[in-house]
């Protein structure tokens, strides 16, 4: 017998063990999904009121924002509901009245609802605007709602509404 420090002896033991072993394992490591911002205007709503709209860029409170989601008729209340299925973690937008609105006056109430729970809500006049930012962790259905309090502005809504998607692509993906 050769000395155990000899490299050949150690090699033979390892080779014999490898031949006799029936245990095998493979570990598949996948990268976590990369979070990405998506324009909410590019999602197809699962429900919407007849007067809701999604348009191209709009100017709100002196700032131009890409996309506009809101109400399109004088004195109208509108909503758009999106099925997120818990795949988004944040929403950002700017709530206000676009410069191209015909009747720039009155009070409005805009809301962001996650599964029926208010995440954002603000009442303001037509010349005002508000930044919107809220968490969406676990939210299944997201609703953007506009309420015209006194028959004021023809258009009111959300500019540049985006959601941060944290799950892999699926059936309800946006188009951008």
CATH of segment(s) 36-165: 2.60.120.1060
> What does the block give as tokens for 139?
């939210």
pLDDT per position as a tens digit, 66-123: 788 887 665 568 889 999 888 899 999 988 777 655 455 667 788 999 999 999 998 8
Q: Quick: pLDDT tens for 17-52.
A: 445 555 555 666 666 667 889 888 888 888 888 777
What percentage of the chain carries pLDDT values higher than 90?
21
Q: CA 75 to CA 51: how far, in whole Å?
A: 10
Residue 30 has a pLDDT of 63
- What is the model's pTM? 0.72
Helix (H) or strand (E) holding 65: strand 63-65
Helix (H) or strand (E) holding 137: none
Q: d(Cα 112, Cα 147) in Å, to the nearest integer?
A: 12
Instruction: For residue 150, count other CB atoms closer than 10 A to its CB.
Output: 10
- Mean pLDDT taken over the chain: 75
């Amino acid at each position: 017998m050769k000395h155990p420090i000899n490299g050949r002896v150690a090699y033979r033991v390892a080779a014999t063990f490898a031949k006799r072993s029936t245990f095998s394992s493979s570990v598949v490591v996948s990268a976590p999904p990369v979070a990405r911002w998506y324009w909410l205007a590019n999602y197809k709503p699962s429900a919407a009121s007849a007067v809701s709209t999604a348009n191209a860029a709009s100017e709100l409170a002196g700032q131009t924002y890409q996309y506009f989601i809101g109400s399109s008729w004088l004195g109208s209340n509108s909503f758009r509901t999106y099925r997120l299925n818990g795949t988004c973690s944040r929403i950002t937008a700017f709530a206000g009245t676009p410069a191209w609105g015909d009747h720039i006056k009155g009070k409005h109430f805009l809301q962001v609802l996650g599964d029926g729970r208010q995440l954002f809500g603000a009442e303001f006049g037509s010349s005002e605007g508000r930044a919107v930012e809220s968490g969406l962790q676990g939210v299944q259905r997201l609703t953007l709602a506009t309420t015209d309090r006194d028959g004021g502005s023809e258009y009111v809504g959300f500019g540049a509404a985006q959601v941060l998607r944290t799950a892999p692509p699926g059936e309800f993906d946006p188009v951008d």
